[in-house]
Structure 1
Amino acid sequence: MREFIYKSLRRVISTKRFQNIGYLPRWIIFAIDVFIVLIACVITQIMVFSLNVKLYPTLNPYLQYGFVILVNAFSFVFFRTYSGIIRHSTFIDGVKLLVATTASYLALMVFNYSFQIILHDRLFLSTGLFITYVISFLLLFLFRILVKNVFETYLQVADTNQLIKAIIYGADANAISVANALKTEKPARFNVVAFVNKFQQDKTNKSILNLPIINQRKGIHVILKSMNAEALIIAEKSLTKEETRKLVEECLDYNFKVFTVPLITDWEDQNQISNQLQNFAIEDLLERKPIVLDNNKISAQIKGKRVMITGGAGSIGSEIVRQVTNFSPYKIIILDQAESPLHSLQLEVSELVNDVKIKTVLADIRDYDALELVFEKFKPDFVYHAAAYKHVPLMEENPSQAIFTNVIGTKNLADLSRKYLVEKFVMISTDKAVNPSSVMGASKRIAEKYVQSLNYHLVNANKKNATKFITTRFGNVLGSNGSIVPLFTKQIQDGGPITITHPEIIRYFMTIPEACQLVLEAGAMGNGGEIYIFDMGEPVKIIDLAKKMIRLAGFIPDKDINIKIIGLRPGEKLFEELLSDESKTLPTHNNQILIAQDSIAEYGEIKESIAELISITRKNPSLDVVAQMKKIVPEFKSMNSEYQTLDVD
């Protein structure tokens, strides 16, 4: 019966006509209050005359009612009890009612006893006045509570369909605080219907805030479905990263929304908790082991040294800058040709550190003379070389630019590092340099070969204080400039479609902080000549990545957001490799870093080949440039490109 009444009220209240009730005029509220006092008088009269006692004579009941109502009406006007909006009544409104009715009662008692003293008669029964006072206050107060509850509870039911029905994962103090905050938030965004507690083992029915606590004996998607919920809010902070990932992926697989919430102490606005609920980032779903760094070794090498980072304003370079600041270098030289990003990074880093000198240098690595002035002035001890052109299709269309930046720029830096006795030169390369299928990948492989051959040339020549040249090689970096994650994010924000080049395309992924941490670790352990490759975890199908990002954004793939296959781009292949067919690997003390044993070019030959490549690049068309690149890198086989005609079977 109760459920039937509730559903009936819900149907009635959900009509727009009832939802859009406006605020009643104040005179109507005043009239209702006066009418309530009249009802209190009638109830008092019935109660008093139902007593089997002899009463002393008083005024005619009608005159009594009129006088009582008149005094109360005056009190209501004086204390303005009708001025508030009933549905938004507060504790202050209740106090005003108590004061107004008490003032009326005291005034009536004064009239009554004054009349008795002067005329030796009474206007009212004292007991009757007190009963009227109590009943009046209770009815006035209950009227406001009833109206407030109707609007807060039942009118909210009408809007429930517009709220996100959610279950909170967790039942600790943090979870309860989240539920309380969401319940009282205005305007409401979530309708919390239950808690899930993985630690509750007994089968007894328990509740918090009048909401059930469900023991997670089944999959979370089963619980969400049984409660007719749309979303899971993860407030349990004892979950491991792996447990959280499994929960999130289960929700996404069954098209449920999933959010995380910070600890209570980290809430920025205690009144707007729903704004602090965050969607999970795609980085959180990578199946990767946590990275453990040898911070002591990194610090021992960098502390008190002058560190130069090229491409420092880029996504990788800027993260290296941030991480290097943790190891107390004497000075950080941030070099880039992009003016605005460089300036922004300078402002950011200057706020992060006080005891490290920060120098920003606007320069192009392709300009040898300008670079030499930088080396001469700052004399860096370490160089992290992150500057590069990395967009595959763009470099396929502009191979000369790939040569100028990725090859000549790297050669300039390597030669100057050698000349100015830099301790270590760490070059950041890419998995696209392995069996390259694009101009970009081949240009990076040429740079690798030059750096590696230069290192062995210096070792064989027994040069004192010779620079140690180290190469690091890894795959795609989530969130870096030009990566697919920002592209997919924008496409989702625009309503789709998400564009994918091929349904079977696979890539390795790392986060920016992970990649930079491993770069610092490899740089610290390197003795020169190594090509370090990183454990990239499991390869990811791009179409699966796209679907997860769509679900994380709260949409359904191919329903809310379409996925469009557009075909492989020039130079693009289905999967990338971290090692060539001939390469072998050696382990290091960090099981997430391996050393690739590639064949090493003879320094004189590679130097001469690069000189010829540079000469051709300055004078000849793209076809001649790529032909020379293929001579330097025989394994370079173009894919989906006009340069396939240069390949010989």
Structure 2
Amino acid sequence: MKWRYFKIRARQILWNEDNRVRIRNLNYLPRWLVLIIDLATVVFSFFMTFFIASNLNVSFYNVLNLWEECVFISLIYFSSFFLFSTYAGLIRHSTFVDIFKIAFSCGFSAFSLAAISYGYYLFSGSKIFLIPFLIINAVITFACMLMLRILVKSLYSYMTNMGRKKHRVLILGVNDDAIAVGEALSISDRQNFVLGGFVSFKKRYQKIKIQGAPIFKYDEHFFETIAPYKINGLVMVGDQMNVSEKNRLVDLALEQNLRIYHAPSITKWENESDVNGNIKEVQIEDLLERHPINLDDSQIHHYINNKTILITGGAGSIGSEIVRQVSHYQPKKVLVLDQAESPLHNLELELRKDHPEVSYEFILADVRKKSRIEEVFKSESIAVVFHAAAYKHVPLIERNPTEAVQVNILGTVNLADLSAEYRVDRFVMVSTDKAVNPTNVMGASKRAAEIYVQSLMNESEGDTKFITTRFGNVLGSNGSVIPYFKEQIKNGGPVTVTHENIIRYFMTIPEACQLVLQAGTMGQGGEVFVFDMGKPVRIMDLARKMIKLSGLEPDRDIKISVIGLRPGEKLYEELLSNEATTLPTHHSKILRAIDHAQSLEHVMNLIIEIAAAAEQSNDIFMISKLKVLVPEFKSENSVYEFLDIRTNSED
């Protein structure tokens, strides 16, 4: 019965039903089998030692015969294996700790046998073992056990990586972090990289190697020097280079058809053995020239700590990140309001898991319905409102302007009025660079909301401080161009660009939300805070670099199509109007723009007319009145351009 079970088990381990060998599927050797293998190694070492000693013309003691000595020595070694647990580790993952265990075990066995031999000599006057024999035997046993583990480790590595395509890479830098990543490449089994060498940015190393790999000097001849070594990619470790240096290196490397990877400092690796999970291809977001933001946490903590915070549009890409960041400042309660049911539900599951200490209330509501929003203000003592609820997709809003007016303008009016009525301390509105000299309905509606908030602040007798924050495109937000390009590249193209010369500013979601929180601490009311968006990016260049970072060639592997500007879209986004006055603030990345506030009565009368037209779906009249409220609103590539022509002719 046992023999039949053994045959079945052997067949399961070694063979698939289709008769293909599947040794790779063997997870690990049982401990008892490791012990048997090690014991067989001891027996083999004994006879090899005996053979060597026999050729040295030495005389053995006659206390035990050959087989008795073999059994005795094997039992001592067997006992030491139990004592030092040499069998406990997986052979294929043997480390220096396992090697030390084997060394101690062999040394301890030799010492024990010598002690037994001398102990027997004290009682009987005869020795059992030759000391040189024990020393040679210990060395041979250790060498055989070590070689066995190296052989198994090498065989396992070969089997697991058989057929796996590997990239020969150079690691940038020769500091501790770079060397640690190089070591991880050398010892890891299941990974896609082979260490080809290191790159020094400062010093030239002639004959020195690290982990057996050469060191190359990064200079004007660098790419020519590494050409014979068949290098496939470069690995940037940590933050050794600033973004400008990184971009220059990436551009040169892409010209040589090299892949670019990034690895965090090894101390930040979640799983130190998971090379593939920690070394990833560089993303375009890593190459945008952004600089780290330093926040004044004490001020943010002061106005958020132990207060009730309302975040509208809380399930959106911007609103949800504001919720996450606010949660770190120990608020009394966070009210997350949105009309999107599923995203709100998903956010609730996430936050209750990640921040169980924070009191949340998730409110399904529409900012257009004032009575519903007022219930929230009545039931809660709200201290700060972050207003991120808005419709933002330019072409879609251009075709559906009524919705933009009702959400972006009237929704803001509802929230601003209720904030003033219920004496909210701060009302922070999230606006957009498209509100500056707008060329589309979306931008004009956000500018109208800015105008109303400024006018209300200017003439309000309450204590509420109304603050507006304005920034450009946010990386990774819903509808952002970068995820859109990634999807197009993934599907084989074409990548669609609306115009060859179109440029945009970019900012990451956490970065934008950090500055929103910071701006909320600065405002005295009525200001528009403009964020430093860094350098503008030409979208055509962005598309080409993203294709190259994917290992493909623009216009050869992936076509780039210029499809023309969309309705309401303009080539260049602006953050300030010509009439605005810009002042610095104590934060280097936040500027203060002061626009001249309009009369609240005048603004309110126009908004009433706009709202009435929206209610009747009279788009033409509604947009014409919006152009009166926002006189700099000039439609481009839009069905509403004739309104500007008519206005000019009347003038």
TM-score category, normalised to shorter length? 0.7 to 0.9
1:453 is matched with 455
Instruction: Name which of 551, 554, 558 aligns with 1:554.
Output: 551
- SS across alignment from 2:327: helix
2:318 is matched with 316
1:576 is matched with 573
Distance in 2, Cα, partners of 1:332 & 1:150:
56
* Pair 1:618–1:173, CA change in 2 (3 A): same
**1:162 and 2:165 matched:** yes
Q: Please provide the CA RMSD for this pair.
A: 4.8
**1:437 and 2:439 matched:** yes
Distance in 1, Cα, partners of 2:552 & 2:318:
30
Please say if residues 301 and 524 of structure 1, whose CA atoms lie closer than 8 Å, have aligned partners that are also in contact.
yes
1:213 is matched with 215
Q: Which is worse superposed, 383-392 or 420-429?
A: 420-429
* Pair 1:633–1:181, CA change in 2 (3 A): same
**1:516 and 2:518 matched:** no
Instruction: Name which of 591, 598, 622 aligns with 1:594.
Output: 591
Instruction: Name which of 492, 502, 506 aligns with 1:505.
Output: 502
2:301 is matched with 299
2:270 is matched with 268
Please say if residues 167 and 224 of structure 1, whose CA atoms lie closer than 8 Å, have aligned partners that are also in contact.
no
- SS across alignment from 2:628: helix
Shift of 1:608: 0.7
**1:614 and 2:611 matched:** yes
Structure 1 stretches (4+) deviating beyond 6 angstroms?
20-23, 42-45, 87-92, 136-153, 158-161
Shift of 1:319: 1.2
Q: Which runs of 5+ in 1 are unaligned?
A: 1-19, 24-39, 52-67, 69-86, 99-129
Please say if residues 164 and 192 of structure 2, whose CA atoms lie closer than 8 Å, have aligned partners that are also in contact.
no
Please say if residues 205 and 215 of structure 2, whose CA atoms lie closer than 8 Å, have aligned partners that are also in contact.
no
**1:193 and 2:196 matched:** yes
Distance in 2, Cα, partners of 1:330 & 1:148:
59
1:530 is matched with 527
Identity of aligned residues (%): 45
Distance in 2, Cα, partners of 1:139 & 1:326:
56
* Pair 1:328–1:43, CA change in 2 (3 A): closer
Give the TM-score normalised by structure 1. 0.75
Please say if residues 220 and 251 of structure 1, whose CA atoms lie closer than 8 Å, have aligned partners that are also in contact.
no
**1:480 and 2:483 matched:** no
What does 1:607-646 correspond to in 2, within 5 Å? 607-646=604-643
Shift of 1:259: 1.4
Length, aligned pairs only: 582
Distance in 2, Cα, partners of 1:534 & 1:269:
37
Distance in 1, Cα, partners of 2:226 & 2:172:
11
* Pair 1:596–1:481, CA change in 2 (3 A): same
Amino acid at match of 2:436: V
**1:183 and 2:186 matched:** yes
* Pair 1:168–1:634, CA change in 2 (3 A): same
Amino acid at match of 1:279: E
Distance in 1, Cα, partners of 2:324 & 2:377:
22
Amino acid at match of 1:597: I
* Pair 1:138–1:589, CA change in 2 (3 A): closer
What does 1:30-49 correspond to in 2, within 5 Å? none
Distance in 2, Cα, partners of 1:208 & 1:537:
39
Please say if residues 305 and 332 of structure 2, whose CA atoms lie closer than 8 Å, have aligned partners that are also in contact.
yes
What does 1:61-460 correspond to in 2, within 5 Å? 162-199=165-202, 201=203, 203-218=205-220, 221-222=223-224, 224-225=226-227, 227-235=229-237, 238-240=240-242, 243-458=245-460
Distance in 1, Cα, partners of 2:93 & 2:604:
84
Shift of 1:478: 0.9
**1:543 and 2:540 matched:** yes
* Pair 1:138–1:403, CA change in 2 (3 A): closer
Q: Which runs of 5+ in 2 are unaligned?
A: 1-20, 25-48, 58-66, 68-90, 107-133
Distance in 1, Cα, partners of 2:335 & 2:586:
30
1:54 is matched with none
Superimposed CA distance per residue, residues 569-619 of structure 1 (whole angstroms, 9 cap, x where no aligned partner): 111111111122322322222232222232322111110111011111111
Instruction: Name which of 564, 584, 601 aligns with 1:567.
Output: 564
Distance in 2, Cα, partners of 1:421 & 1:145:
74
2:44 is matched with none
* Pair 1:594–1:612, CA change in 2 (3 A): same
Shift of 1:527: 0.9
- SS across alignment from 2:636: coil
Please say if residues 315 and 480 of structure 1, whose CA atoms lie closer than 8 Å, have aligned partners that are also in contact.
yes
Amino acid at match of 1:646: L
Shift of 1:494: 2.1
Q: Which has the larger radius of gyration?
A: 1
Distance in 2, Cα, partners of 1:578 & 1:529:
17
Distance in 2, Cα, partners of 1:147 & 1:348:
47
Q: Which is worse superposed, 216-225 or 227-236?
A: 216-225
Distance in 2, Cα, partners of 1:219 & 1:328:
55
Q: Which is worse superposed, 544-553 or 599-608?
A: 544-553
Please say if residues 384 and 425 of structure 1, whose CA atoms lie closer than 8 Å, have aligned partners that are also in contact.
yes
- SS across alignment from 2:309: strand
Please say if residues 310 and 336 of structure 1, whose CA atoms lie closer than 8 Å, have aligned partners that are also in contact.
yes
Please say if residues 337 and 364 of structure 1, whose CA atoms lie closer than 8 Å, have aligned partners that are also in contact.
yes
Please say if residues 609 and 622 of structure 2, whose CA atoms lie closer than 8 Å, have aligned partners that are also in contact.
no
Please say if residues 238 and 262 of structure 2, whose CA atoms lie closer than 8 Å, have aligned partners that are also in contact.
no
Distance in 2, Cα, partners of 1:563 & 1:152:
45
Please say if residues 623 and 643 of structure 1, whose CA atoms lie closer than 8 Å, have aligned partners that are also in contact.
yes
